[in-house]
Structure 1
């Protein structure tokens, strides 16, 4: 069983984060790990939150799945179009959760793997890395559907990806796009939502990631400088993202 957080077992609703990345030393030291980063964005008093380290092969056992109201699928250093055993196991679980109509919120890798589980096409981004603070544009129908949340038409978010959703799953709809990425967000029915950006990230996490990617020679100096400049130029709209993600995950729309 993954680690826990929050109120008593019987009190309130239950959520789980399927963690698809290893915690970096920096995020552990400064934020207590990615699980706590998600809980600080999405958690509320009286809820119970658990973490399952999916990338290490840890997933909720079948008999526990029904006890959860919703699941968050995190980002990852791995490719959502890969075929590692843990990715195949995660796909099987997601297919089961979709059929049970559990609330599913996917972020970055999570957005891509949900799309794949539903029959969409994913792969390397045609326009390369998207790194830094990017302004995405929710569609008119999304702004209308979420009218009670007053979602702005320009919505900055932290991005850190080089893969993307190429083609939507059948019966899914695009919720937002950006200059670089055609499918920044998608929705399938009322219980699956994918977000290509990282609403949970803080600017310091982004700066740390840029430095790591540079050290690993995954990006060039010019990419790093442009990404850091975008972070200095504009903050992500964390409050708008918080409202949107919480309302969706908790089925309060």
Structure 2
């Protein structure tokens, strides 16, 4: 058997910070999900770089990243991404969507997304994961959040597998091959704080929102290893995760 092969559909431009300290967002995701012996490819879809149709079958799974764009927008690359995701769904390919990726998967599968009625969610938030084939029992897990859009309506056959006091659909699962996560399991504290500063500099969030977000990041730190296991278990077809192996007792 050949090496497993995965693709990152990168929906964001690399900042100077992420290039300097992480080598780019692609390296952030490979660092979280990659394992020795695997092949990981990058497609910068915002620049029109998409995998050709005849290459889609070569991949064992896909990751759709966050973005500064709106999943409900109609930019050329966004419309093309929706079409690609629909093809991957028809092929039953494993797809993990993060933030914008979570929202664009919802749209591609027939759901609806848009601006969150309650506004920006910036900081660390505790989300409630429901018992499912991914998780053998209910549990709570903090995650970095940085979004102003959200899933309004799930696609047919999709189910909510996590929620929070801020966002109704923090995670969803579609059949056995697609999962979306509204938060950012790939973020480190440094990366999160840099993004908050960039949003503030661009006047996309208020100083009060930035302050609250940074305070939350000091008060509650996500378990990066727990999120890594959760995402890898889904993307690579591992057995359902049990509470003891996924999360430490201190976070329950």
The TM-score normalised by the length of structure 1 is 0.92
Residue matched to 1:183: 169
Partner of 2:86: 95
Deviations 1:79-118 (A, max 9, x none): 0000000000000000000000000000000000000000
**Is the counterpart of residue 157 in structure 1 residue 143 in structure 2?**
yes
Which residue of 41, 55, 62 maps to 2:53?
A: 62
What residue is the counterpart of 1:26 in the other structure?
17
Tell me if 1:211 matches 2:197. Answer: yes
Deviation at 1:146, TM superposition (A): 2.4
After TM superposition, the structure 1 = structure 2 runs for residues 43-82 of structure 1, keeping only pairs within 5 Å, are 43-82=34-73
Render the CA deviation track for 1:183-238: whole Å, top value 9, x for unaligned. 00000011000000000010101100110111111111110110000011111121
Are the structure 2 counterparts of residues 146 and 128 from structure 1 closer, same or farther at C-alpha, using a change threshold of 3 Å? same
Q: Determine the C-alpha separation between the residues in 2 that align with 1:31 and 1:233.
A: 24
Give ranges in structure 2 of 5+ residues lacking alignment.
Answer: 240-252
Residue number in structure 1 paired with 2:236: 250
Which stretch has the larger CA shift, 40-49 or 151-160?
Answer: 151-160
Which of 186, 201, 215 lines up with 1:200 in the alignment? 186
Q: CA deviation at 1:251?
A: 1.3
Matched, 1:226 2:229: no
Check whether the contact 1:11–1:47 (CA below 8 A) recurs between aligned residues: no
1:168 to 141, 145, 154: 154
1:225 & 1:114 partners in 2: Cα distance? 31
Q: Does 1:137 align with 2:132?
A: no
Q: CA RMSD of the aligned region, Å?
A: 1.2
- Give the count of matched residue pairs: 239
Structure 1 position 124 matched with structure 2 position 115: yes
In the other structure, the counterpart of 2:135 is 146
Instruction: Report deviation, 1:12.
Output: 1.7
Q: Following TM superposition, where does structure 1 have runs of at least 4 consecutive aligned residues deviating by more than 2 angstroms? A: 144-147
Deviations 1:101-153 (A, max 9, x none): 000000000000000000011000111000111110001x23x6423xxx771
CA distance in 1 between partners of 2:44 and 2:164 (Å): 31
TM-score w.r.t. structure 2 length?
A: 0.93
Distance in 1 between residues matched to 2:150 and 2:206, nearest whole Å: 20
How far apart are the structure 1 equivalents of 2:40 and 2:216?
33
Give secondary structure in 2 for the equivalent of 1:223.
Answer: helix
The equivalent residue for 1:3 is none
